[in-house]
Amino acid sequence: MVASTGDTMTESTIDNGASASDKIAAAEEHWLKNVYQGDKMPQLTMRAILIGGVLGSLMSVSNLYTTLKVGWSFGVAITACVMSYVIWKVVRLVLPKSSDMTILENNCMQSTASAAGYSTGATLGTAFGALLLITGQHMNWQTVLIWTLVTALLGVFLAVPMKRQMINVEQLPFPSGIAAAETLRSLHGACVEAVQQAYALVAALAGGAVVGLLGKGNFAWQQKLGLKLPELLPFEMKLQGVQGSALPGFGFEPSVLLIGAGMIVGMRVSISMLIGSAILYFLVGPAMINAGQIEAPAKLIRWALWTGTAMMVTSGLTAFAVQWKVIARSFSSLRGGNQSKPASSDISKIEVPLSWFIAGMVPLTIAMIALEYVAFSISIPLGLLSIIMSFLLALVACRTTGETDTTPIGAMGKITQLTYAALAPSNITTNLMAASVTANTVSSAADLLTDLKSGYLLGANARQQFIAQFIGVFFGTVAVVPAWYLMVPNKATLEAFNPPAANMWRAVAEALSQGIQYVPISARWGILIGGTVGILLALLDHFAPKLRQFTPSAMGLGLSWVVPFQNSFSFFIGALIASLWSKRSHRNATLFMIPVASGAIAGESLACAIIAMINALSALGK
């Protein structure tokens, strides 16, 4: 697919006798001559920045809600591209004299939206959520604001030295970046199918918003008209002496967010979740309750969390470890990149210079170390180590994203937690917040490199994209931090979400800092069994990929023991809908499934987030 975009040179184009550095220089000159469009049309414009900033801000709030609800955040690039296209079409109807946005303006808008919507909220629903669960108190907003801003900006700057090597030189695919570029080409080429996809996404977004309003809204006019969906349709049955409806979340939740997520993750993960949840609710859970190992049915998920977390952590670390070739290439590319010829003067004017990287990293590093020391009493050497580890792990994570389209954020955070458990034993705050620096920085860098891949394919000016990403971080931070405090005013509200990601971060930090004796004996056996299963499934996936269709997903099984049954059941329904849709009309499903699912997720999560904030403000006013 990459070759068809015109960004690479064929073997016949390059002199086979040329040195590696000469080939790199020739490839860049070829791109500059045949692909680059940055001087031919507007790119970094005020309207692109404003639309991207606003859309990204909304998506940052949406992703914060999905992180609290299901433990995941979703990429916003394609959704933002489609929404921007539709919004500007409406603007042109109102203001017909306004010009169309160019494809590079839309790409610049995409960069701003991604930085705002994806790079700013990861640490809130994970590390800060875990800290709130442990201490019972929110950190002050000034610390959270600066922490969110600095970690996201670190990711923006860390992407700078990797861009030329991974995208220009090695031509790593970054599949989501290719998909976003092709989406923009189709939209701006007035492709009928692309326009239909755009309006399908918008319709699904509106539908998701309505479901969110009817499900979570509790306004007077809703009560008067009877427009209220139940939050849960419980299942009634006897399970070995335990009343089924007494088990937390045992039923069906009318939520298109969860169904849409199931459509995206697919049948293997979703059916693994359903199987794992069935084992917990029908067999293990009732047995543990009746044996007195779990005090009450309501505490089932709190007990099962240890097994599910162990399975996901060990499978993630194992999957990371067996990709040793990727890890080796990550560090060898540093040497390879230094051997290439300096870019020509024309290319140098387009690429982000190393001086920008240094000018950004030095003050950001100082600010991060100072903040870690002042806010969390993390020593200066350990603070510096968190930045060094972020850079090294970002190298690996960005390459993994480029080659597989999967960013191992969880594994990166756990590696940091394991490191700090050895260096700062029994210090749970140091463990959490150092890992927060790594996880947020790595996810930001990997996501922004994906956007830079889109720009490279479309012939964009990398400097202008970098500026758009830099500005986008400020939009997202200003939006998501207030949303965090409004959506989660206290520990009780967060516990009501039963947040999978925050619970997992808390569990790992507590186990590493307080020792295994802190964990109940029955849960220790769960950790051993879950951890072993996670390792075995990860090894099977790597060494016997043909068996993947017959083996469960470690992530799916593990997640099913961290979230209530209702989540797993809705995921399965979504995957089943996707499977039946594909069998009935594969072409139609290929065109519309992802837009519909993405729109439903964004619409419901945004509506639910806004309702949660309105409820919090109403409570404050009483």
End-to-end CA, the chain: 58
- Which of 184-188, 382-386, 550-554, 567-571 is predicted least confidently? 184-188
Quick check: is 202 in a domain?
Answer: no
Quick check: is 200 in a domain?
Answer: no
Report which listed range, 18-22, 115-119, 572-576, is most confident: 572-576
Mean of the pLDDT values across residues 47-54?
A: 92
Listed residues 449, 466, 497: the one ending a domain: 497
Listed residues 439, 469, 497: the one ending a domain: 497
- Check residue 345 and give its pLDDT: 63
CB atoms within 10 A of CB 186: 17
Q: Are residues 231 and 265 in the same domain?
A: yes
Residue 326 banded pLDDT, cuts 50, 70, 90: low
Percentage of the chain beyond pLDDT 70 is: 90
Quick check: is 442 in a domain?
Answer: yes
With contact defined as beta carbons under 8 Å apart, do 107 and 465 qualify? yes
CA atoms of 79 and 350, how far apart (whole Å): 27
Residue 18 banded pLDDT, cuts 50, 70, 90: low
Residue 1 banded pLDDT, cuts 50, 70, 90: very low
Tens of pLDDT, residue by residue over 445-487, are 888 888 889 999 999 999 999 999 999 999 999 999 999 999 9
Mean of the pLDDT values across residues 387-397?
A: 85
Q: Are residues 164 and 276 in the same domain?
A: no
Q: Are residues 253 and 395 in the same domain?
A: no
- Check residue 13 and give its pLDDT: 47
Range of the domain at 420: 33-195+324-497
- Check residue 329 and give its pLDDT: 62
- Check residue 607 and give its pLDDT: 92
For the chain, give the mean pLDDT.
85
Quick check: is 154 in a domain?
Answer: yes
Residue with tokens 């801003």, as numbered in its chain: 149
CB atoms within 10 A of CB 169: 19
Mean of the pLDDT values across residues 154-183?
A: 84
- Is the pLDDT at 91 greater than 60? The verdict is yes
Query: Which residue did the predictor score with more confidence, 246 or 212?
Result: 212
Mind giving me the DSSP string for 149-193?
HHHHHHHHHHHHHHHIIIIIIS----HHHHHHHHHHHHHHTT-HH
Predicted TM-score (pTM) of the model is: 0.85
Q: Are residues 596 and 576 in the same domain?
A: yes
- Check residue 240 and give its pLDDT: 66
Quick check: is 87 in a domain?
Answer: yes
- Is the pLDDT at 321 greater than 90? The verdict is no
Q: Are residues 186 and 40 in the same domain?
A: yes
Mean of the pLDDT values across residues 66-78?
A: 81
Listed residues 462, 497, 532: the one ending a domain: 497
Q: Are residues 401 and 477 in the same domain?
A: yes
Mean of the pLDDT values across residues 218-246?
A: 78
Quick check: is 561 in a domain?
Answer: yes
Q: Are residues 91 and 118 in the same domain?
A: yes
> How many independent structural domains does the chain possess?
3
Q: Are residues 57 and 129 in the same domain?
A: yes
- Which helix (H) or strand (E) segment holds residue 243: the answer is strand 242-243
- Which of 332-336, 401-405, 606-610, 615-619 is predicted least confidently? 332-336
With a CB cutoff of 8 Å and minimum separation 6, the contacts of 5 are: 178, 181, 457
Q: Are residues 347 and 218 in the same domain?
A: no
Q: What is the DSSP letter of 424?
A: S
Quick check: is 316 in a domain?
Answer: yes
- Check residue 391 and give its pLDDT: 87
Residue 540 banded pLDDT, cuts 50, 70, 90: very high
- Is the pLDDT at 358 greater than 80? The verdict is yes
Distance of CA 267 to the CA centre of its chain: 20
Mean of the pLDDT values across residues 266-281?
A: 94
Compute CA distances 386 → 405, 433, 561, whole Å: 25, 9, 31
Q: Are residues 407 and 429 in the same domain?
A: yes
CA atoms of 53 and 55, how far apart (whole Å): 6
Q: Are residues 419 and 456 in the same domain?
A: yes
Mean of the pLDDT values across residues 529-541?
A: 93
Tens of pLDDT, residue by residue over 487-533, are 999 999 999 888 888 988 888 888 887 777 777 889 889 989 999 99
Quick check: is 205 in a domain?
Answer: no
Q: Are residues 8 and 90 in the same domain?
A: no
Exposure string (b/e) for 16-40, b if CB count within 10 Å is 16 or more?
A: eeeeeeebbbbbbebbbeebbebee
- Is the pLDDT at 176 greater than 70? The verdict is yes
